[in-house]
Every structure is written in structure tokens, then in C-alpha cells.
Amino acid sequence: MTRTLAHSPGHPDPDRLPEFYRGVPGKRVIAWLLDWVVASVISALLLPLTFFLGLFVFPVMVAVVGFFYRWSTLAGGSATWGMRLMAAELRDTEGLRLDGRTAFLHVALHYGLLIVWPGLLGSGVVTLMTPKRQGLHDLVLGTVALNRTL
């Protein structure tokens, strides 16, 4: 059976169950900002271990810490702490939580879009246009962000 990006058997149908996707783009933006705060705090706490030399490369340090923070939290629970606070989570093409490999690829593609800002802008536009509110990195991997159900 061939899977397409438009049809993933594990994702709720956005036409029949729109509540799974309602408000997700805004939640992702807020979660993204919260996650940068978390990565910055973790980086600041690690500064003494670098004998404060990390101050000279603090933005790079935050980016590296943020990468590992996002990868570990997505692999461990399919949501970063920011996403959990916003009641959102990621699911793979089968509707399952992300495994370590998919979480790594999701974060790597996201960082790639951050580096090439037109890609990030394009991803934002695509997110607002797709029925499942998927960004470019979601479309590539077949992942989807959903409102978390209780």
C-alpha cells in the first residue's frame, strides 16, 4: 500500500474531526517560544561548567542545547515541554508517538528551516494552508501536530 502525504491512516480526518487541529499553529508558535526559554535557562545553568567561556558563544550554546532538548523530549513523549504546556503533541504517519529517529529528523529539518529563513517563512505559510496544519518538515516526515486529548 502506498501512503501519500495527504492520506495517513493514523491521523484524524480534519474535515470530520477539526477539533484535533483547531488552534494548533498558534499553540506551536507559543510552544516554540517557551522551548527557547527552556533551552536558554538550561544553557545558562551549564555556563559554570564551561568556566563561563560559553558566554562568548552563548547563542550557539543555546542552539545546541535546544537541539538536544527538543530531540530528547520529542523522542520521550512526542512533545516538548512547551508543547505539553500548550496541550499539543506530534504523531507519526501511523498516529503513534515519535520514535528517536523520527524525533531527530523532525528537529534537524526544523533547524534547517530556521537557518534558511525563507524556508521557515514558507513552512509557516504551508502550515496555514494545509488541512492538517502541517509545516514543511511535517509534510516531509508525515508527522502532524494535534491537540492533546485527555
At residue 10, the pLDDT reads 83
Residue 117 in this model has a pLDDT that exceeds 90: no
Distance set, CA 2 to CA 5, 63, 78, 83, 115 (Å): 10, 37, 25, 31, 32
Structural domain spans, the chain? 18-147
At residue 150, the pLDDT reads 58
144 beta partners: 91
Q: With a threshold of 0.75, does the pTM exceed it?
A: yes
Q: Give the C-alpha separation, 132 to 32, whole Å.
A: 18
Residue type, position 72, single letter: S
Element (H, E) at 144: strand 144-147
Residue 53 in this model has a pLDDT that exceeds 70: yes
Q: Give the C-alpha separation, 107 to 111, whole Å.
A: 6
Element (H, E) at 91: strand 88-91
